[in-house]
Structure 1
């Protein structure tokens, strides 16, 4: 939960908050406000006894921690005594706190304590939250989030995600609580937050829900007339050059013949590029055996790409020359912009204005660069170009790109493009994703995210491309220390991980907890596409794999089908005595490739009965891993259903794994990883279907 006292603006009194809620048609207790004993007594005459009194102070966030709340006051005599005692306690514990008065409110009948709140996220704008309330809300963290704009379906789903939903529905024979009243209140809170631009944040804890209604008992609002909500709309920005992903010519401004300089490493890496290459350096006539030019304007042609490696202060002049020459796309590797302070921020604004003047798009600045392995194009100062493949990787961290390409993490799937975003001054995640959508080589995208620019626009844009182009994302900055690190990296301000997670869910993006998981899942979707359902079958010669498969399937929401009699009869015709006679299909440990092949042939004939097939094997002498991999490739080509390889082992299975990789069939070295990846894909596919259906309903 966000600490609203750390936000800009002023905390209004609880009495003012109650007035805001009343005006919005939200049920609150009878209340009054007192600055003296006499006023307290008069207020209690209106509310009736028993009553609650609460200190009112913009400096006190948790009233109960300083003894600033007294409940169950039965009469006037007790009220006067507790009123003075409360003021004395608060003055002793927080002598510098500004006390504006005391709230007098009727004692609300007991019920289930819930929480509702709203905040403005720096990336996604207004967000509504709901969950279990009370004094332990920050400990339990049973909170769900929804991005604006809200719908009744979103609000209902938000309730269902929390553990509190079981209590609301009637837990262990208890009568159900008034869910309709809760839905109505949350809807009104959403409307209020959307219409009142001056509300920066609000926090209602608790909401008391009973069988016959709901009441907002404790309300805190932050108001700030001077803080505008982040803009949601922005002009469509896309690199319109047809040569964006298929350049025929590249120039490098700042190319160098001196080892150790960025311009040297970038130009050296580009020597393998299959197109025309032009170094730009007014101090050299040639660089690494290639004729050099004094400026971009002196090149014999307008290059499709311009890679800029000059010092930051020289970038505006280079970009101006490029824009006048007709260059449409640049990669600005140079650092020293927004991430370096105020002077750098102004310099970044300058180059952005130059780019807009000439309708020029650029990546970066402060980025590693771009790789397109299929073109042997390595416009980075990274050490290694990965193998071509169907997964694109977009990352805000250049170091992570270098690490994964050097470690071989992407070797199994290969990549279609690797793009370092840097500061995202111009082109942002969604711009590159639109380009990937148009790229026939890209079948899935993996994102490493520290910060999204205009997150709500990102969500809406992803919804339009996600069915054609699956997206897996890993969000950095989940921990408190991670958020601090992200703020100092590429000038980013990492937002709330929970809110990002909700944005991923709403847009159909699959959240990954590690880079390995991200690329395994991305490779699965690039090869097999979205799963068409959750009906699964497991084929294995290892009894242990069969048992584990049943456990993992249950863990990740995958349904292992029951084999019909005709399927069993056909399998029984060639299986040895003792085979499992059920799914997972345990073919016994002596099974060779021929038994696998016959089983897979049977599944092809009955492919209307399953959606996902796992082919699992261990390195045993009866199995030739290369032959088994080839049978799996044939099997995959005969169906449009999802086929998942699980050739599990080390060197013994490596030749078979290579065959699967070469044919872009996903293989998992851990059985649980295979089920986790398909389970994540299933949940995302269901979400995509739900918002498609919602669109049809509208």
Structure 2
């Protein structure tokens, strides 16, 4: 892929398949370009001398174009792509459908398109794309019904219909764009390429997107992280329901699903997640027009008690807080407001307030060093002129570095003042909650910009020993490993209790004799996943009883599943579960993002409580620490109700080692360490122990 500069700033655009036929896509694209494009539009069609009064050439060789917009039938698209490559036209927009979205034949055609793009080093948008727009040059290379207004948003969408709907809405609401891209099938260029390009574009203030999937999750995270340091990225991601989750056999796989991967991946990428179209454009609007707040403390100035309470609730819901005014602020408000007014936050200037009183209260609140941002909230009264209030708000905002949002709650009388406020870069809403949520978006982006990304955790490990354990799946009827793979964890420095797997009562007794205290015994069988459910686990077995317990466990397993493969019995040192906290560390491999790590409350309740958090591997030490703080049960780890705090650093170490393991071996499809028992600090001793493990291996990838 080459630079995308000429894709958005071309001198000449060729329409391959231009036509005069009414209703044809080729005619619509040509017409849109001729209407507004500052450069030259070149129709390409051997059947015409001219199209829409514009000279037509017979082939792309004669066009000398920076971009070719391809609208020919799918059967000859590949010929057109090859011709573009031969002609040196590096940028191609394929509007034609009939590729990967249509089945096996279309998918093969799409792969051939991608191969040609690689061969000729072409930038290809699509296929199955609505087209692209770039407003500085007036280029509308789409078959949509209208062009975009000029502005600072660059917008990409996997849905062409969503693009046309957004442009129609945006034109009615005065929302402008720098570039617009309908991604189509993303055979060559994808969301990562455009994030990378727009991140270096000084005319793009905010990147927004509608995404249904991400082609390469890891690459997207790395690219978006760099871009988001200077340019905010906001995205709506569809497909959030459980219908999109993949079937899985492990706890991690069951709880993960695609939505968890996207939630973790977008957060790690520094992308602000919008839950709706309103959220998307609320976030984009305020990010492109208002400064970032120094603190999360909000001041509310209102003439309406009820809406003020609604805004106050929204502050808490958004994770912000009401600013506590300094004494000089409350003194100034007391001097300026009537006795009936509330001079504490939220400031209620009461219903008879005129514009001067409103403006004075806002000025005083914004002057307080404790105030990070402010919401102006006004309901219609006989004493408020919304036009004059809008003027006052704009004048006051010019004197502050704090972000300000407004809520003018009303109908016709608020429309023109709202338009003027928004034109001045002050977002204005009817709903107080939307105003607060927008201010919260600024705080979220401030935190993203302040993140310090560390390198992934790395340890000295025994990769060859780990590979030998994984390769044992070649000798099995299935690809699942259980406690017989504890050596895999040992190879990566993850602490496991003393013990081993034995195949006779006498061997069981010998192993138990070397363990200090009573032991735990478990059936080892790839066919029996939930061993405790069939009585396949014995806890607190004295050394004298180990041989008999071995026989009992084998008998229970045989009675439960006569044809099960029994590898033996694991004899293991007992870990004092009461002294620690049972957690789970696991991984499920996501198709887009790769290894998705999970940490949470473990034991037998993991799928009932679902107290978990996720990250895309590999993770850094700060990210692993964040995982231990994010679960609802975090107080248990740090000491609650008189319990001793556990060794969180040992948990972090285990997360890091597992992260390295599943990154090193893509053949590991799923893996659970459950429970990972986190114990209180004890100098010189292992303070987190992996008691059980279960994993699924893809033998073909391992080879």
| 1:249 paired residue among 2, 6, 12 | 12
Instruction: Report the alpha carbon displacement of residue 363 of structure 1 after superposing the two structures with TM.
Output: 0.7
Task: Indicate the residue corresponding to 2:52 in structure 1.
Answer: 288
Q: 1:294 to 1:526 in 2, by over 3 A?
A: same
CA deviation after TM superposition for structure 1 residue 617, in Å = 1.7
- Please give the alpha-carbon distance, in whole angstroms, between the structure 2 residues aligned to 1:582 and 1:452: 47
After superposition, the C-alpha distances for 1:466-522 in whole angstroms (9 at most, x for unaligned) are 1211112211112355789xxxxxxxxx97112211112222212222111111112
Q: Name the CA distance, whole Å, in 1 between partners of 2:396 and 2:302.
A: 15
Question: Aligned residue for 1:46?
Answer: none
CA spacing shift, 1:658–1:631, aligned 2, 3 Å: same
Match in the other structure for 2:385 = 624
Separation in 2 of the partners of 1:680 and 1:443? 15
Deviation at 1:684, TM superposition (A): 5.2
Q: CA deviation at 1:694?
A: 8.0
Indicate conservation of the 8 Å contact 2:244/2:259, yes or no. Answer: no
Give 2:62's aligned residue.
298
The aligned residue for residue 588 of structure 1 is 350
Give, in angstroms, the shift of residue 622 of structure 1: 2.8
Matched-pair contact (CA < 8 Å) for 2:67–2:89:
yes
C-alpha contact 1:413 1:664 (8 A) present in aligned 2: no
**Residue 240 (1) aligns with residue 8 (2):** no
TM-score calculated relative to the size of structure 2: 0.60
Contact 2:225–2:269 (8 Å) recurs in 1: yes
The 3 A distance-change label for structure 1 pair 285 and 330 is same
2:438 matched to which residue of 1? 677
Aligned to 2:109: 347
> Which residue of the partner structure matches residue 264 of structure 1?
27
Matches within 5 A, 1:143-292: 237=1, 239-271=2-34, 272-292=36-56
Residues 426 and 529 (structure 1 numbering): CA distance in 2 closer, same or farther, change over 3 Å? farther
Written as runs of structure 1 = structure 2, the 5 A alignment for 1:680-695 is: 680-683=441-444, 685-686=446-447, 689-692=450-453
Alpha-carbon contact 1:505-1:687 (below 8 Å) kept: no
Residues 170 and 176, structure 2, Cα contact 8 Å, conserved in 1: no
Aligned counterpart, 1:646: 407
**Alpha-carbon distance change, 244 to 624 in structure 1, aligned in 2, over 3 angstroms:** farther
For residues 548-584 of structure 1, give each alpha carbon's deviation from its aligned partner in whole angstroms, at most 9, with x where no partner exists: 1211111111111122221122223332231111111
Once residues 127 and 434 of structure 2 are traced to their aligned partners in structure 1, the CA distance between those partners, rounded to angstroms, is: 36
Please say if residues 474 and 518 of structure 1, whose CA atoms lie closer than 8 Å, have aligned partners that are also in contact.
yes
Distance 1:436 1:623 in 2: 43
Answering whether residue 431 of structure 2 is matched by residue 661 of structure 1, we say no
Distance 1:660 1:422, change over 3 A: same
Contact 2:325–2:370 (Cα < 8 Å) also in 1: no
Q: How far apart, CA to CA, are the structure 1 residues paired with 2:300 and 2:455?
A: 34
Whether 1:377 aligns to 2:139 is yes
**Separation in 1, partners of 2:348, 2:49:** 69
State the superposition RMSD in angstroms.
2.6
Helix, strand or coil: the match of 1:520?
A: helix
| Number of residue pairs aligned between Structure 1 and Structure 2 | 449
Cα distance in 1, alignment partners of residues 345 and 384 from structure 2: 21
Deviation at 1:602, TM superposition (A): 2.7
The match for 2:173 is 411
Task: Summarize deviations over 1:607-639 as a string: whole Å, max 9, x none.
Answer: x32211112222334333333333333333333
Gap change, CA 1:434 and 1:638, over 3 Å in 2 = farther
Secondary structure (helix, strand or coil) at the match of 2:107 reads helix
Structure 1 residues 119-161: Cα deviation after superposition (integer angstroms, max 9, x where no partner)? xxxxxxxxxxxxxxxxxxxxxxxxxxxxxxxxxxxxxxxxxxx
CA distance in 1, matches of 2:45, 2:293: 52
User: Which residue does 2:695 correspond to in 1?
Assistant: none
Assess if the C-alpha contact under 8 Å between 2:366 and 2:374 holds in 1. Answer: no
Closer, same or farther in 2 for the Cα pair 1:619/1:390, shift >3 Å? farther
Q: Flag the 1:444–1:364 CA change in 2: closer, same or farther, 3 A.
A: same
CA distance in 2, matches of 1:539, 1:409: 31
- Cα–Cα, structure 1 residues 621 and 412, in superposed 2: closer, same or farther, change >3 Å? farther
Q: Is the Cα contact below 8 Å between 2:42 and 2:54 reproduced in 1?
A: yes
Whole-angstrom distance in 1 between the partners of 2:181 and 2:291: 22
Matched residue SS, 1:679: helix
Report the equivalent of 1:496: 258
Provide Cα deviations, 1:77-129, integer angstroms capped at 9, x if missing partner: xxxxxxxxxxxxxxxxxxxxxxxxxxxxxxxxxxxxxxxxxxxxxxxxxxxxx
Large movers: runs of 4+ above 6 Å: 693-698
SS of residue in 1 equivalent to 2:412: coil
Residues 1:384 and 1:449: Cα distance change in structure 2 (over 3 Å) = same
